[in-house]
């Protein structure tokens, strides 16, 4: 029997067991799947589901071996946040099939605390969280979740409310992947709360940095602020961010006339931000693609169809930009490719830039470097 056939049989067996409600095969053990309907959840979009879903979640994390919790297809109204402090897995039947309606002034799900040790093993996948309010409270709050946490295939719809989709307080090795963020903030108005906020907070234990967070393959549509590294509302209280990787983000606004005023894809709000890697970002109709503060940012293969400024180097130093491509259209011009401000220390580097249509759609100099701090190496 070929190795390829053996691999396929093992995969079929794993999928079959998973569909029967078992996981954890790699560890030689299985955990039965809990169904929230067993605890009285209905999913009709009208009943308050907090009590039933919280009871199901409490049962899922009870005992020495947590069990995954399935919330089946339906719409679940929540009057209070679902809360847990231990390792857990929450699954839906798929984005837009399982929908959680967040309370107007609190999260739909709040996990962990700021006062205890770092748990690990959080997995959230395959559902939607929806809100129709403006609130300081995020839709999903990850507080003090430690190692190897995952938010996977979760959609967030804020209905143009100015609130955060995911807020991460303190973390080692976490990932947000294949998620979508839709209608965050009033278009044209500066937003203080981004779709994703990475918020390293000083904790009672004295720790609280962000280390190794990956945000990959996420889409941001009609969003005034996409990703915040440091929360602008908490400037002065937070600690450092180390090693954030943002892979293949897609930022798209709906304007057909050019960038939406005050919109920004990725922004850092503190110089205590180190070694951020941004790979293959796409920007369409954003005022600013990336606003850089801190040290050692690496931005590779950014592509912009419409932006006032694609990359804005505000402070810090040691930043590099490689493979910038500008492709404006007649109604969607590029203002400036890279702006290097006076607050940047030392030298930064721009390599291999290209304007696909020459300078026809560049409304300003493609590089704005009044202090001569940017080394430019054209393609």
263 within 8 A of 287, measured Cβ to Cβ: yes
**Angle CA 240–241–247, to nearest 5:** 170
pLDDT, position 52: 97
Q: Any idea which of 55-69, 108-122, 147-161, 312-326 has the lowest mean pLDDT? A: 108-122
pLDDT tens-digit readout, 351-366: 977 777 655 555 666 7
User: Across the chain, what does the average pLDDT equal?
Assistant: 85
pLDDT, position 207: 57
171: closest CA among 111, 102, 227, 109?
A: 111
Average pLDDT over residues 52-71: 92
pLDDT tens-digit readout, 234-280: 655 667 888 899 999 999 998 877 899 999 999 998 898 999 999 99
170 within 8 A of 197, measured Cβ to Cβ: no
- What are the residues whose beta carbons fall under 8 Å from the beta carbon of 118, sequence distance 6 or more? 144, 145, 146, 147, 170, 172
- This prediction has a pTM of 0.88
Query: What is the token pair recorded at 6?
Result: 């053996």
pLDDT, position 23: 41
Residue with tokens 């203080």: 192
pLDDT, position 258: 84
Residue 289 — very low, low, confident or very high, per pLDDT cuts 50/70/90?
very high
pLDDT at position 19 over 50? no
Measured distance CA(142)–CA(81) in Å, rounded: 12
pLDDT tens-digit readout, 100-112: 999 999 999 998 8
Share of the chain above pLDDT 70, in %: 82
pLDDT tens-digit readout, 315-346: 999 999 999 988 876 566 788 889 999 999 88
pLDDT at position 298 over 50? yes
pLDDT at position 204 over 80? no
Q: Any idea which of 18-27, 73-82, 284-293, 302-311 has the lowest mean pLDDT? A: 18-27
Residue 143 — very low, low, confident or very high, per pLDDT cuts 50/70/90?
confident
């Amino acid at each position: 029997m070929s190795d390829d056939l053996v691999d396929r049989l093992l995969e079929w067996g794993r999928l079959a067991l998973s569909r029967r409600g078992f996981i954890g095969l790699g560890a030689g053990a299985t955990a039965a799947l809990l169904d929230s309907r067993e605890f009285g959840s209905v999913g009709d979009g009208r009943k308050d589901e907090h009590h039933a879903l919280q009871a199901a979640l409490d049962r899922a994390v009870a005992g020495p071996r947590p069990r995954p919790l399935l919330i089946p297809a339906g719409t679940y109204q929540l009057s209070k946040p679902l809360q847990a402090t231990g390792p857990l897995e929450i699954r839906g039947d798929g984005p837009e099939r399982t929908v959680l309606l967040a309370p107007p002034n609190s999260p739909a799900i709040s996990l962990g605390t700021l006062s205890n040790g770092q748990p690990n093993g959080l997995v959230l996948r395959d559902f939607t969280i929806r809100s129709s309010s403006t609130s300081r409270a995020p839709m999903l709050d990850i507080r003090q979740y430690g190692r190897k946490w995952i938010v996977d295939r979760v959609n967030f719809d804020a209905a143009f409310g100015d609130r955060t989709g995911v807020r991460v307080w303190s973390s080692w090795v976490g990932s947000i992947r294949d998620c979508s963020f839709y209608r965050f903030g009033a278009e044209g108005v500066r937003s203080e709360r981004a779709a994703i906020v990475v918020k390293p907070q000083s904790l009672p234990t004295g720790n609280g940095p962000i280390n190794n967070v990956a945000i990959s393959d996420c889409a941001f549509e009609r969003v005034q602020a996409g990703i915040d590294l440091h929360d602008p509302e908490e400037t002065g209280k937070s600690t450092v961010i180390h090693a954030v990787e943002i892979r293949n983000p897609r930022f798209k606004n709906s304007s057909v006339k050019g960038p939406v005023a005050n919109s920004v894809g990725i922004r850092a709000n503190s110089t205590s931000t180190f070694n951020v890697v941004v790979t293959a970002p796409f920007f369409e109709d954003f005022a600013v693609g990336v606003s850089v503060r801190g040290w050692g940012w690496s931005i590779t293969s950014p592509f912009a169809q419409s932006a006032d400024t694609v990359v804005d180097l505000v402070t810090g130093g040691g930043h590099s930009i490689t493979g910038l491509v500008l492709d404006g259209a007649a109604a969607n011009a590029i203002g400036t490719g890279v702006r290097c401000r006076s607050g940047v220390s030392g030298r930064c580097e721009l390599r291999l830039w290209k304007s696909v249509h020459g300078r026809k759609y560049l409304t300003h100099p493609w590089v704005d470097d009044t202090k001569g701090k940017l080394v430019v190496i054209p393609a």
